[in-house]
Structure 1
Amino acid sequence: MPVHDTARFHVASGPESLFARVRQVMDEPRELKVHAPHLRRRAAERGAPLERLDRFDPGAWELVMAEVRRDTGRFVSTTWRVVVGGGHWWVVVGLHDTIVTVIDVEEWRRGFGDRIVRDGELFERVGRLNAGLVAAAAPARGPAAAVGGDCGIAAVPGGGVPGKP
Structure 2
Amino acid sequence: MNAPQRPGAAQAGGGIKPKADAAAPEAEPKKSKKKLFVIVGIVVVALAAAAYYFLVMGKEAEAAEPAPEPGEVFTVEAMSINLADGHYLRLGLGLQLTAEAHELDAAKARDAAIVLFSGKSVEEVSDPESRDALKGELAHQLDELYEGEVMGVYLTDFVTQ
Q: TM-score, normalised by structure 2?
A: 0.21
Q: TM-score, normalised by structure 1?
A: 0.21
Larger radius of gyration: 2
Structure number with the higher helix fraction is 2
